Amino acid sequence: MIQQLLKKIRSGRAVVGVVGLGYVGLPLALEFTRAGMKVLGFDVDPAKVKKLMAGRSYIEHVSAGAIRQVVKAGIFEATDDFARLAEADCILICVPTPLTKMREPDMTYVEATARAVAGALRKGQLVVLESTTYPGTTEEVMLPILETSGLKVGRDFLLAFSPEREDPGRTTHTTRTIPKVVGGHDRDSLAAAVACYERAIDTVVPVSSCAAAEACKILENTYRCVNIALVNELKMLFDRMGIDVWEVIAAASTKPFGFQAFYPGPGLGGHCIPIDPFYLAWKAREFDMPTRFIELAGEVNVSMPHYVVARVMDALNERGKALRCSKVLVLGLAYKKDVDDMRESPSLELIELLQAKGAKVDYNDPHIPKAPRTREHDLRMTSVPLTPARLKRYDAVLISTDHSAYDYASIVASAQLVVDTRNATAGVKRGRRKIVRA
């Protein structure tokens, strides 16, 4: 089985199936087409399938032209017909792994996908899970479901885990140039997965097991989560001490070894950093092991929007105003600069906290004209235009996301008060007394 599959992959004749065509799956699918392979994309959302087949994109940094080109060339097809999974030789799964309301891993997407794959599974296929998850998922959750097909792992089909490291909006690295860690259930599974990714990714890093690959991704994100919490805590301390945390980080960054800069902000956002560490914390309970760093980092990061709102209140208070009935404009709804993704964005929390205290809140985000409904938030708001006359009318302008499209000097020039959570106004010379850091 393995020799046949390897031959097919290495000759470029293997068909790649990508399940879940979101921020991770779509760029990955396109990367495999660039490597000359035929890709079948699967998604449960028929609207996405329709858009892709019409050559349209629903992700800002994925160009419609690139989609049109591969659809026209017949090397990419999107479908919601999961029976067609049988056509793929390598199936790469990039479905969501969120948290439930109780902040526990929500495995429903992974399980549903595993059932769909099991329904179409045939001998000689490779299945790889890419969704971020706790160590053990591939073999404890995926594997038993896949084997309900009657096929046996290692003998009839191959199974691996390879964590996605997509960083939307980043221009210094691409899907191809970010090294890909791969762990297989057995030797043949690893060999097949490495061969598959080597077609499209410059550097593939094999590890000894699926669990090691799963743990690798969680380590990366926990490392970020803990370090961001550290600088967030220091931001609050340094502020009381009259020290500028941004200046300190810039100075510390001149050390050529032993220090990596992390930056404070209004709270954690995105699909990964606020969520993934809790996957590990949940699993750790099975081993009677508390993950204190994760819990503590979570506590600090979750408190950040409250800190920012308190800073807005203080700044208004100094100007003789109460937050209640004040008009506040939040700049940036996306969870980080220059992307159109607002999942878990701290801006959502900020808006709700400000509204709960009686403020009249608007938002502007050039990347998100209308706030879409999420699992936890339904703001029913649209982005307001950013004109000098309008800026003047707000009692406070709160910079939550430091998009490059903003002209910070003119924002400060027009606004009455600017509360800056991202140091976005660092280069603004005039009107500095209107700026408050938070």
Ligand X SMILES: NC(=O)c1ccc[n+]([C@@H]2O[C@H](COP(=O)([O-])OP(=O)(O)OC[C@H]3O[C@@H](n4cnc5c(N)ncnc54)[C@H](O)[C@@H]3O)[C@@H](O)[C@H]2O)c1
Q: 394 vs 324, 332, 362, 434, CA distance in Å? A: 13, 16, 9, 13
- Number of H helices and E strands in the chain, helices first, is 15, 13
- For residues 217 and 311, which CB has a smaller minimum distance to ligand X in the complex? 217
- Residue of the chain from 36, 45, 170, 393 that contacts ligand X (CB under 6 A): 45
> Of residues 44, 86, 284, 296, which one binds ligand X by CB under 6 A?
44
User: 3-state DSSP: the chain helix, strand, coil percent, rounded to 5?
Assistant: 40, 15, 45
238 φ/ψ angles, rounded to the nearest 5 degrees: -60, -35
Cβ-based nearer residue to ligand X, 199 or 217: 217
352: left (phi over 0), alpha (psi -120 to 50) or beta: alpha
Query: Interface with ligand X includes 164 (CB under 6 A)?
Result: yes
Q: Smallest distance, Å, CB 363 to ligand X? A: 22
The DSSP result for 141-159, as a single string, is IIHHHHGGGS--BTTTBEE
- Minimum distance from CB of 79 to ligand X (Å)? 10
Binding mask 226-265 for ligand X (x = CB under 6 A): ----------------------------------------
Instruction: Please give the Cα distance from 386 to 112 (Å, whole number).
Output: 43
Q: Which residues ranging from 412 to 431 are in contact with ligand X (CB under 6 A)?
A: none
Binding of ligand X by 132 (CB under 6 A): yes
Alpha carbons 354 and 306: distance in angstroms, whole number: 9
Q: 48 vs 434, which CB is nearer to ligand X?
A: 48
Quick one: 165 or 235, whose CB is closer to ligand X?
Answer: 165
Residue 25 Cβ vs ligand X, minimum distance, rounded to whole Å? 6
Task: Provide the annotated active-site residues.
Answer: 272
Q: Does 112 bind ligand X (CB under 6 A)?
A: yes
Which CB, 163 or 264, lies closer to ligand X? 163
355, containing H or E segment: helix 346-356
Query: Which positions touch ligand X (CB under 6 A)?
Result: 19-25, 42-45, 48, 94-97, 109, 112-113, 131-132, 164-166, 168, 271-272
